[in-house]
Every structure is written in C-alpha cells, then in structure tokens.
Amino acid sequence: MTTNEIKNKCVLVLDSELPVGLIANTAAILGITIGYKHNSIIGEDVIDASNQCHLGITNIPIPILKGTKEKVKELIEEIRNNYSNDLTMVDFSEIAQSCTDYQDYITKVNGRTADTFEYLGIGIYGPMNIINKLTGSMPLLR
C-alpha cells in the first residue's frame, strides 16, 4: 500500500443491553447493508479440495463493539455533523425493528424527526484513522 492509499475499516456498535436475539438480528442487518453498499469487502467464491463452492465472505475483520443507546446516538450525531462525506453509516432503530415490512418502515420513518429515534446499533465503514478516532477506546461486545 502506498502512502496515498487509505486503509478502510468496518465496525458495528451495538447496544449491549439488548437481548441476544436482537443483538444478532441488528448485527446481521447492519452487516448485510454495509456489504451491499461496499461490495468490495466481500471476497471471491472459493472452491475446496472436494470441488465444492464456498461463497465469498467478508475479506476484512468486522469488530462488534459494546455500546449503549446513548453512545450509539452520540456516534450518529458526530458522524452526521463531522464525517458524513468520509464514512458510510448504517443505523438500525427501534422503528426498523418493529416494522412488519419495508413500506411500514418508510411510513414510520417519514413521520418522525431524527431526535426521536432510539437506535439499537450502527455500522460504520470508511477510513481506518477516522473510525479508530471515533471508536478506538470502545470494548468488544462479548
């Protein structure tokens, strides 16, 4: 890598007080969305010695960090105010979790202001130096 290349990173920050099923669901949804938006993080399919295909998985680590509702909201505001051109941020809220279909989600989101959302987690992708600055002191979710 040359000095002009930017190394990217991806992290998920989840409210660690959620039930384990919601943590898993939130992580899955955030990961799918980031993989869709940045498909270069998905490696090529791999053929094993038995000639069986294993579809490509992420080719970078994706740490899942322990957060709180307050910390997630704080990160969202910081990214929107200072890093919206540098980072891809995917949020997952209680609104999204409660919806039965995507049209329901659209309708509910359209009827709310940003300050009324309660977030379950966020996914962040972009330059490693910025993500480390924002999340470097956060512990892994275990």
CATH at residue 79: 3.40.1490.10
Among residues 110, 135, 134, 142, the alpha carbon closest in space to that of 16 is found at 142
Please give the pLDDT value at position 107.
96
Residue 20 within a domain: yes
- Asked whether the beta carbons of 17 and 141 are under 8 A apart, the reply is no
Domain range enclosing 120 = 8-135
β-bridge partners, 47:
53
Residue 115 within a domain: yes
pLDDT in tens, 40-92: 999 999 999 999 999 999 999 999 999 999 999 999 999 999 999 999 999 99
Segment 21-33 mean pLDDT = 97
Residue 142 within a domain: no
